[in-house]
Structure 1
Amino acid sequence: MVRADKQGPHRVAFERNKKRILKTKHTCGICGQDVDKTLAYPHPLSPVIDHIIPVSKGGHPSNIDNLQLTHWKCNRDKSDKLYSGETNTTEIIGNRNLPKTIDWTSYEFKM
């Protein structure tokens, strides 16, 4: 199955909103650092458009309110995760609360 933002009616809206975001935004929505738009894939800091709520989790595929500028690496690290921690406040928690790296040196594989 192909995602809705990759073909069909959402594709046009996604591309239009992608261009708008690339022109107006300058910081990564995940890590908060500046995004160098002159870098190209496969550079890990190249710019990409991320779905804040992943399409696989019910996020809208092309709505500009569900899209953000990110670094390629930040987007890959986030993958299709949502923040699921519990909080006692009414504060809105964004993607910046996701872990940025995993220390695989201490990981023990068990069968």
Structure 2
Amino acid sequence: MAELTNTGETVQTGERNRDASWQRARAKIIAEQELCHLCGEAVDKQAKAPDPTSPSVDHITPWSQGGTDAIENLALAHLGCNIKRGKKPLDEVRRTPYSEDWGLGF
């Protein structure tokens, strides 16, 4: 559910609905994408949570900041990268192997 704040900003409130459309979008992202959009490394699609190398789907614009579950707002990420990102803006966490602070610990 979206709510307009007194500053005119739209934020998500309430619980997310992980319905069949979310499950289809998640499956499509995992099937079609190969690399973690945060670190650029290949995602091990055979790994299972809680393994940090397992696949997860990240919201490009976080759900808590007005992002939606639309497929255009979703990208493949390692579970560990996704957790490390949290609600931070994408430009604060996206790394490459050439970044000085490279190293997610797996």
TM-score by length of 2: 0.71
Q: In the comparison of the two structures, how many residue pairs are matched? A: 86
The one of 48, 65, 68 equivalent to 2:72 is 65
Structure with the higher fraction of residues in strand conformation: 2
- What SS does the aligned partner of 1:73 have? helix
- What SS does the aligned partner of 1:22 have? helix
Identity of aligned residues (%): 34
* Structure 2 residue 94 is matched with structure 1 residue 96: yes
Q: CA deviation at 1:12?
A: 2.2
Quick one: distance in 2 between partners of 1:57 and 1:75? Answer: 16
Which is higher, the Rg of structure 1 or of structure 2? 1
CA RMSD after TM alignment: 2.3
Structure 1's 100 and 66: CA in aligned 2 closer, same or farther, altered over 3 A? farther
Structure 1 runs (4+) deviating above 4 angstroms are: 99-102
Q: CA deviation at 1:22?
A: 1.2
Point out where structure 1 has 5 or more consecutive residues left out of the alignment. 84-92, 103-111
TM-score by length of 1: 0.68
Contact (CA 8 Å) 1:46, 1:71: kept in 2 or not? Answer: yes
Residue identity in the other structure for 2:28: R
